[in-house]
Structure 1
């Protein structure tokens, strides 16, 4: 039964066009071809990335943050309160006004004190600016090196200039050492992102990020298995082209370098639109979806690969919408570009105002409960 199932899964007609199969990818005449077992190399590479990242953040990112002036203001922790803590953990982090008034009666605290407690408690859970800077600097370093390494590996290849040549000789295209390492390092990095997702900063597009990482891993793995490697390297290069610009904009944002942040974000937005909404769909996806039909009849693997491409393209359109929203808010002259994906730390200015008001009223011999509106504004850039 298992043998029969294995034969069905690895049937030539599923993965390759008619007349081709797995025998085409057997090493011969000194030529090496990609093999399924090669993908296991991504796991130790991913573990190495996790270790290297910890070393990098401690020895490079933290000193760099200090050099650029990245600092975290000391947060005031909410005082212990079992009733409010239970509500915060089990019911809602953003209680309604009626719930606040009910909690006020249960705890004997004023409405303002309950509002202040929830505001401080929410801020306790938010990642520090230094943590976000460390993550951004790590991703910036990888994407920058990966982009230029990929560019160096592709700059002298004919399919870099004429994408239709990615199908010349398919699937009997020998594997180059530069392609092997480019693939394994990229795949290992995205696997490491999945491993670290639980500890990384969670943003509003968390689910979309997970879908992106999984689709990317499956796409890289599948393209390796069936020797779509020429197209795969072009896809990875296009993705890396904009990512390091976004991460650098975040770094300068955390450092308070507003003009530099705005400049880097503008460059990122331009490169993102060009690479992911123009080059990717109209050049690369065209060459993987439309052009192959002039060479081969469609087969299941063809639909699977391009289906993943369309998933990535849909995510790019989603993120392009967020980017354009940021650009619109940036153009009128906002001080800084902010990321639509992140929550803004709530200000403690209301607390200071409350304290002043309470002291003033105490001088006059009376204290009253207030009913301030919760400040639940959300920002845009981490």
Structure 2
């Protein structure tokens, strides 16, 4: 008769942290997860002058990302001269008068007080409701990025995306998989790594990692969470495709994204410079390229090729499903942004307004400078100036 002796200690808990990490690493790098049956890491070892992508190569991304996180050289060589040529200047913003009670509530509670909170603050400061609302409106405007900062950020990204698109096109123009997507999988995963592919990958990945590093200083958008999901999905997709040698598919996906990104940043540049007609034309060009590449080429050609063609050569494996899952995450984000783009386009065509970025946090209009004067007379603010000159809405 078989008897079972209960374990007094959980075997998993008895494992040392080092052994647990080792077990996790062993599971993660299991070639049965990432490669078709009969193929593995041994097939990607350098030999006979043929070089293959390796996970250890990704360490190069960190110094590249760090360099991209401080685009001072781009600002000096591109953004600053371009701003001078296009007439974009730094506007002096008057600082809202300091009020300890309102400032404490603004910093520690919320930037957008409810009606009940406004009533309470009126009692504490002796100000009217309009005066308190005006103070918070001007205080929020004070925290918003200046027009010149947004112009420099757009100029920096325009420079990168344009150069990345040109570099990617140059590295792929003579490759057969640019014209026939079936070629992406010919010989997979034993695909030789080319120097152009190496640098294209490292620079692109370094740039997207830098976007995570610089998130605290970048201009905040309404789709901030979606942007972060996009950046993380892109980083995982690029890194994953590198480690398991989906290099050909990866280069096509990066080129596809770069083809419209630089147009969006150029449209922003013209908006910030006040070139209304030019920004409108560039925006519609961007919208056309975005919809064609992200809602037609990407799902019906790229995703189709990653979902259908591998199954004609191999049995399904985990890496195949994981790749297509990441692709679908990107496609969902493409649809989300396409809705925003179409909404902007429809609004422009129906009202003949200036095209503006739906994701931007617009500056609020200050209705009356008298509010600030009233606050000062009641002693609610001290030693400051009202920031009531920013009447113009900026994107």
* Worse overlay, 30-39 or 84-93: 84-93
Distance 1:355 1:142 in 2: 43
Which residue of 1 is the match for residue 95 of structure 2?
Answer: 77
- Structure 1 position 12 matched with structure 2 position 31: yes
Structure 2 counterpart of 1:186: 204
Q: Once the 2 structures are TM-superposed, how far is the Cα of residue 355 of structure 1 from its aligned partner? A: 8.0
Partner of 1:239: 257
Residue 213 of structure 2 is aligned with which of 191, 195, 206? 195
Partners in 1 of 2:177 and 2:202 — Cα distance? Answer: 21
Shift of 1:333: 4.2
- CA apart distance, 1:34: 0.7
Please identify runs of 4+ aligned residues in structure 1 that moved more than 6 A.
Answer: none
**In the alignment, is the contact (CA less than 8 A) between 2:256 and 2:293 conserved in 1?**
yes
Please state whether the residue corresponding to 1:351 is helix, strand or coil: coil
**Corresponding residue number in structure 1 for 2:62:** 43
**Structure 2 partner of 1:343:** 361
Identify the residue that residue 6 of structure 2 maps to in structure 1. none
Gaps of 5+ in 1: 359-378
| Residues 322-362 of structure 1: per-residue CA shift (max 9 Å, x gap) | 111111111124331111111110112x1247689x8xxxx
CA contact (8 A) 1:258 1:335 kept: no
Taking the aligned partners of 1:302 and 1:224, their CA distance within structure 2 comes to 14
- Alpha carbon RMSD of aligned pairs, Å? 1.8
Contact kept, 8 Å, 1:76 with 1:120, in 2: the verdict is: no
The offset of 1:91, in angstroms, is 2.5
Higher relative contact order (CA 8 A, sep 6+): 2
Of 114, 119, 141, the residue aligned with 2:159 is 141
* Matching residue of 1:365: none
The 5 Å alignment of 1:148-297 reads: 148-297=166-315
8 Å CA contact 2:134, 2:371 repeated in 1: no
**1:25 is matched with which residue: 44, 63, 70?**
44
Q: Give yes or no for contact 1:75–1:123 (8 Å, CA) kept in 2.
A: no
Is 1:215–1:312's contact at 8 Å kept on the other side of the alignment?
yes
Task: Describe how 1:104-123 pairs up with structure 2 within 5 A.
Answer: 104-123=122-141
Distance 1:5 1:243 in 2: 37
Q: Distance in 1 between matches of 2:60 and 2:334?
A: 29
**CA distance 1:108–1:164, shift in 2 (3 Å):** same
Distance 1:59 1:351 in 2: 41
Alpha-carbon distance change, 121 to 5 in structure 1, aligned in 2, over 3 angstroms = closer
Q: CA deviation at 1:87?
A: 1.7
Q: 1:113-142, CA deviations, whole angstroms, 9 ceiling, x for partnerless residues? A: 212111110111101011111100000000
Deviation at 1:4, TM superposition (A): 4.6
1:213-251 Cα offsets, whole Å, 9 max, x none, are: 111111111101111000000000000000000000001
The answer to whether the 8 Å contact 2:295/2:334 transfers is: yes
The alpha-carbon deviation at position 73 of structure 1 amounts to 3.8
d(CA) in 2 for partners of 1:306, 1:90 = 43
